[in-house]
Each structure stands twice: as C-alpha cells, then as structure tokens.
C-alpha cells in the first residue's frame, strides 16, 4: 500500500479549479489536514513549496494580494502531498527536503525559480530536528522518494529522474535549510545570541561542521542583514560555497567568501568571521607558498599565525575545528591554536552524519570513527583531546560480508581497490567513488596539466595523482574517476565509496608503535627541515602522517576498503589492534 497520496489541481486567479469535484475525504484533508504543497507556473517555470494544516485557508492567504511572490509568479497548478506519517515534525522535514531537492534540480538558473517562505524556514530555531520523530527514514523511502520518481518526474515537475543523483550534490549535502540536530540548533542559538563571544566548534570528520556553517551564515544574513559576514574557506571549497549561497538566494554585498590570505590582505572589518577547517590555518613558516607569509605587515606585522590576524578583523569569530586534521608543519600548532582561543567558548559536535553503516548491522558509524581514531592515535596522547569512546564495537572491522562497511585487500592493492569502486559504480551510477592515497609517490603540481605523466604503477596499471586540488571530484578530465586522490583534493569532501592506499610513510617501530617515515613521504612542504630532527618534530611529523590517513579513511559515506602499498607491517598492526582474525 502506498504511504502517500497526492492531489493535483489547476489554479486560476487564486481559485482552486475542480476542488468541488474532489471526493469528500480529499476535500476534508485539504480543508483541515497536514499537507505539503507545491505551486507551479507553467510559463514562469517558478515553483513555490510550503506546508500547512489548512491548505484551503493558506491558498487564500497566498492570493490576498499581500504576497509579492504570488502576485507575479503566475502559478497555474498545485500538487498537494498527504500521508498518514505527516505531523508537525514530519511536515517541517519533508518541506525542507523538497525545497533542497528542487533547488538542486535547477541549480544553474539565473532567476530564483524555487521559492518558499524564507522567514519560516530560517527562523525555525525552536522547531524540530532530525532526531525528533521516529518515521523519518520511512518517510524518506516511502513518501519523498516515490513521490519524486513516480509523480513529480513523470509529470514534468522536475527534470532529474532519481533522488539518488541529487543526494550526492553539494547543494543538498550542505543545504542551509536542512533540518538540524538539537545539538546543532542549540549551537546556532548560542552563537547568534552572544555576538560578543567567540566560539570553537570541535567535531570529528563528518559531524556536520560545514552544514552548521551554512546554516549559521544563512541565519545571520536573514536575522541581521546589515551585519558584515566573512567566511574563510579552503580553496577547494570556495566555488561550491559560492554556488550554495547563490542558489539559495543568500549571497549579498554583506557576505564575503575568501581564503584566509585573501581576507587578511583585504584588511577590512566584519561583525562575524566564520572559519571552516580552522585546523589548517597557517603560521609563520618558511616551507609554504610565499603568499601565506606575506600577510604579516601593517597591523599584522607582529602576528605569528593567520588566526591572530583574523581575530583583529571580526567582532565575533566562529571556528570549525578538528584537532586530528592538521596535515603539515605550516599549519598553526596546537599550542598556538589553544593560546589564540583561550577566551573562546568551546562546543562539541558528536553526531556522525557522513558515514552510514549498512542496514541490518549492529555496529554504527560512530563505532567505525572511534575505531579508526584508536587504531591511528592510541599511542600519541592526542585522544584525550577528542571525544573518543574506547568501547567501540570492533565488529565493524571484523565483518567479512561483501557489503560490509569496512574491508581490506591483502594483495594487488591498486587493482583490487579500482575494481571495487568501479563495481559499485555499475550498481550505483550516481555514486562518487574514488581511490585515494597517502603521499608516498612523487608528484608535482605541474603534472596535473599532462595526463601522460603517471605516478602509481602496479603490473600494467598506471594511474596519476589528482590533476587539480580545487573541485577535483567534479573535474571534467576524461580520466577524472581514475585519478588517485591526495588529501589536498578531498579534505572536507564527502565521497560514497573510498579505497585508501596506505603507504610505507606509516611504519611500526620496535615497540609496536606507529611512526611517520619522512624518507617515504613525498610532499616537500609536509616535512620539517633536515636540520631539525628533534624527537619533538619527529612526533609532530608522525601526527601529520596519521592525520592524513585519518582524513582519507573518513571520507566514505557507504564504505571503505584499504590496500597496503608496500606496507605489510601496517596491515599486521591493524589486524592485531582491531582484533581482526
């Protein structure tokens, strides 16, 4: 039995044509029932999405002459979605999801074709969250999915036949109108209501830091439109962020999106500065791009890192931070970060969003993340700065099922990882799958311009590093899906299935502890100078290598497989540590 029904009516001058010919139960639900509705203008191509408990009353309100959108959009059809699952929580969620999907279905239009009650969505601070109702998964699979694929697409309301493709779009993953967890909503409220306090938002990979960022910016733009807001982003994410704020109608002259270098060089003041991936902010250091060090002039001349300079630019600073994601010596040190943020409010995100354990398994995504953190960092002393749960279920690493979330290949790592991600593409063409690798094969940034230069070789297989770091997963290169991704191309990025080549830059010492070997590590700017080989710098280098693999191993939504690249020692270490038989 279908878990939803939909009613389509023509609209003329605000009148619902054919309403009186509907069956009595249909009239009753439209008069006094929970529904989500979508108006469409055939000529204008505009869409309006909303939800209500009294559709006939709401329709009259839309057409009472007070709503500019309805005075000019020339809507001539409306489709009303009803379901036994619908209640207050579900209505909010379904409305938000449909708005997000419709926008992602039409991302390149210059006009704002998808409309909704912006005030209602952005101001839903006391509303419901993704944790609030038990039928959310059923609604996604039994209502939203079939409604889109069996009703909206066949009848020309949307142009994308399946939601699976849209779910992988950044416009959906980082939508600033998606429903949030209670934890995320409380953080938003804290930040907005305390404009004279600055915040560090700590969270593991995949805990929703970037989603929180887009929501925060959208909310501030709506609630305080006169405020100047700056968002500091990594280069590989700026284009995506611009697209997100543009298509959601939230880009205006008071919003600046820039790298830390660009923002500091511009030397302007802001009410709020939000920094994504603040663990990657630079410090004064010789081995990095010269432009990173040229910011220390004028009122920034005495600063030791980019964060000290950024603090001078904003009345309120909000930092998204993960202590396990700094990956090179030029990143500011933990001590520098702690000193610079000693007066900041510290908050923590704990819910794992990215990683999805397969249905029917007893282990969870949190078990996987906790296990990876334990595997890599158990001897570093760093885990006390994270929210590690040492009682994670090791079953996630011991599951030998072909569709298990985690697995590994003992032999021919490159061939097997490539075969694994490509097999999944055959079953799920919409998936964004990649093979990634530690920095264990030599490469130059200039190599990206020449597809004939390859870096990874196994038998007759030849693969090259990622051709670009910016927007790599959406690269138009003919061999884009075949390239091996580095950490620089995927940090902060979601993928579906991920193969990871663990190289011999990560080794095991005589005491059974992991350490980074700079002799097998091929990133000049990722190593300390030869004249600085103290135990302290050796330990820091080890952490950079560990952080790189932590990032690579936490990219996959639907699954991960490891391949051991000239590194049987780590394979054995992994089996012993995670009790894999």
Please state, in angstroms and rounded to a whole number, the distance separating the CA atoms of residues 368 and 363. Answer: 8
| 469 and 566, same domain (yes or no) | yes
Buried b (16+ CB within 10 A) or exposed e, 238-252: bebbebbbebbebbe
| 9 and 145, same domain (yes or no) | yes
Residues with pLDDT less than 50, the chain: 125-132
Q: Tens digit of pLDDT for each residue in 228-241?
A: 999 999 887 888 88
For residue 461, what are the β-bridge partners?
458
| 405 and 293, same domain (yes or no) | no
CA distances from 522 to 64, 441, 462, 525, 526 (A): 67, 6, 18, 9, 8
Q: Can you say whether the dihedral through the CA atoms of 324, 327, 328, 330 is positive or negative?
A: negative
Q: Contacts from 332-337 at CB under 8 Å and sequence distance 24+? A: 332/281, 332/282, 332/283, 332/305, 332/306, 332/307, 333/283, 333/540, 334/385, 336/283, 336/304, 336/305, 336/307, 337/278, 337/279, 337/281, 337/307
Task: Report the 10 Å Cβ neighbour count for 356.
Answer: 16
Which H helix or E strand runs over 261?
helix 260-266
Please state, in angstroms and rounded to a whole number, the distance separating the CA atoms of residues 369 and 202. Answer: 15
Which H helix or E strand runs over 37?
strand 35-40
Q: Is the pTM higher than 0.85?
A: no
Q: To which residue do tokens 């601070």 refer?
A: 125
Angle CA(394)–CA(399)–CA(403) in degrees, nearest 5?
A: 135
| 28 and 151, same domain (yes or no) | yes
Domain that holds residue 141: 4-167
In a domain, residue 174? The reply is no
| 124 and 194, same domain (yes or no) | no
| 345 and 389, same domain (yes or no) | no
Please state, in angstroms and rounded to a whole number, the distance separating the CA atoms of residues 432 and 424. Answer: 10
In a domain, residue 462? The reply is yes
Per the structure, how many domains does the chain have?
3
Contact 174, 120 (CB under 8 A): no
Q: To which residue do tokens 């953190």 refer?
A: 373
| 444 and 483, same domain (yes or no) | yes
**Secondary structure letter of residue 519 according to DSSP:** G
Alpha helices, H only, 63-147: 68-72, 88-105, 118-122, 136-139, 145-146
From 138, 167, 196, the end of a domain falls on 167
In a domain, residue 383? The reply is yes
List of residues 6+ apart from 207 with CB closer than 8 A:
349, 350, 351, 352, 353
Say what the pLDDT of residue 25 is. 94
Q: HSE of 32 in the Cβ direction (CA atoms, 13 Å)?
A: 2
**Secondary structure letter of residue 142 according to DSSP:** I
Please state, in angstroms and rounded to a whole number, the distance separating the CA atoms of residues 301 and 372. Answer: 40
| 386 and 426, same domain (yes or no) | yes
In a domain, residue 11? The reply is yes
Q: To which residue do tokens 């805990």 refer?
A: 207
In a domain, residue 356? The reply is no
CATH number, residue 220: 3.40.50.300
| 152 and 210, same domain (yes or no) | no
Averaged pLDDT score across all residues of the chain? 88
| 122 and 225, same domain (yes or no) | no
Task: Report the 10 Å Cβ neighbour count for 165.
Answer: 15
Please state, in angstroms and rounded to a whole number, the distance separating the CA atoms of residues 14 and 70. Answer: 9
In a domain, residue 52? The reply is yes
Q: To which residue do tokens 């990874």 refer?
A: 456
From 284, 315, 349, the end of a domain falls on 349
Which H helix or E strand runs over 115?
strand 114-116
| 139 and 248, same domain (yes or no) | no
Say what the pLDDT of residue 385 is. 77
| 245 and 328, same domain (yes or no) | yes
In a domain, residue 359? The reply is no
CATH number, residue 130: 3.40.1440.10
For residue 38, what are the β-bridge partners?
49, 79
Please state, in angstroms and rounded to a whole number, the distance separating the CA atoms of residues 443 and 531. Answer: 24
Task: Report the 10 Å Cβ neighbour count for 341.
Answer: 19
Please state, in angstroms and rounded to a whole number, the distance separating the CA atoms of residues 262 and 404. Answer: 44
In a domain, residue 225? The reply is yes
Say what the pLDDT of residue 37 is. 96
Helix (H, G, I), strand (E, B) or coil at 76: coil
From 132, 167, 202, the end of a domain falls on 167
């Amino acid at each position: 039995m279908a878990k939803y029904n939909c009613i389509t009516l023509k609209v003329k001058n605000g009148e619902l044509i054919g309403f009186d010919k509907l069956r009595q139960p249909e009239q009753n639900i439209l008069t006094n029932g929970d529904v989500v509705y979508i108006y469409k203008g055939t000529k204008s191509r505009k869409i309006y999405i909303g939800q209500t408990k009294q559709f006939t009353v709401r329709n009259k309100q839309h057409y009472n002459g007070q709503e500019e959108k309805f005075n000019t959009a020339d809507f001539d059809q409306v489709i009303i979605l009803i379901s036994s699952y619908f209640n207050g929580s579900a209505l909010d969620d379904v409305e938000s999801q449909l708005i997000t999907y419709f926008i992602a279905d039409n991302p390149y239009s210059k006009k704002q074709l998808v409309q909704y009650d912006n005030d209602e969505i952005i101001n839903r601070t006391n509303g419901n969250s993704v944790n609030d109702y038990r039928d959310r998964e059923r609604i996604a699979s039994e209502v939203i999915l079939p409604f889109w694929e069996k009703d909206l697409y066949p009848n020309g309301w949307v142009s994308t036949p399946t939601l699976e493709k849209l779910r992988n779009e950044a416009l959906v993953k980082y939508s600033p109108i998606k429903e949030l967890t209670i934890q995320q909503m409380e953080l938003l409220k804290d930040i907005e209501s305390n404009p004279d306090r600055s915040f560090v938002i700590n969270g593991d990979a995949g805990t929703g830091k970037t989603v929180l960022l887009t929501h925060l910016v959208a909310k501030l733009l709506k609630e305080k439109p006169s405020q100047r807001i700056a968002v500091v982003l990594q280069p590989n994410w700026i284009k995506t962020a611009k697209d997100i704020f543009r298509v959601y109608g939230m880009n205006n002259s008071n919003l600046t999106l820039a790298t830390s270098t660009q923002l500091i060089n511009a030397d302007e003041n802001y009410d709020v500065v939000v920094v994504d991936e603040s663990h990657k902010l630079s410090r004064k250091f010789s081995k990095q791009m010269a432009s990173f060090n040229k910011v220390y002039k004028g009122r920034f001349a005495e600063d030791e890192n980019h964060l000290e300079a950024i603090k001078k630019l904003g009345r309120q600073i909000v930092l998204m931070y993960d202590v396990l994601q700094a990956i090179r010596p030029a990143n500011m040190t933990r001590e520098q970060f702690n000193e610079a943020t000693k007066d900041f409010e510290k908050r923590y995100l704990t819910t794992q969003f990215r990683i999805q354990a397969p249905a029917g398994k007893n282990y969870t995504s949190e078990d996987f993340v906790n296990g990876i953190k334990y595997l890599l960092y158990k001897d570093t002393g760093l885990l006390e700065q994270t929210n590690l749960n040492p009682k994670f279920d090791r079953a996630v690493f011991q599951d030998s099922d072909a569709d298990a979330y985690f697995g590994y290949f003992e032999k021919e790592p490159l061939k097997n990882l490539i075969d694994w991600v490509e097999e999944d593409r055959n079953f799920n063409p919409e998936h964004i799958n990649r093979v990634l690798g530690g920095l264990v094969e030599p490469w130059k940034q200039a190599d990206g311009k020449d597809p004939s230069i390859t870096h990874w070789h196994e038998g007759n297989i030849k693969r090259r590093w990622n051709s670009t770091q910016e927007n790599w997963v959406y690269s138009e290169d003919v061999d884009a899906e075949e390239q091996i991704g580095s950490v620089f191309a995927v940090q902060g990025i979601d993928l579906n299935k991920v193969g990871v080549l663990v190289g011999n830059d990560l080794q095991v010492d005589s005491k059974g502890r992991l350490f980074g070997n700079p002799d097998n590590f091929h990133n000049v700017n990722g190593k300390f100078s030869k004249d600085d080989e103290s135990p302290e710098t050796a330990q820091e280098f080890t952490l950079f290598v560990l952080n790189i693999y932590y990032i690579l191993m936490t990219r996959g939504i639907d699954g991960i497989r490891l391949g051991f690249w000239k590194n049987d020692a780590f394979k054995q270490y992994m089996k012993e540590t995670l009790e894999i038989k």
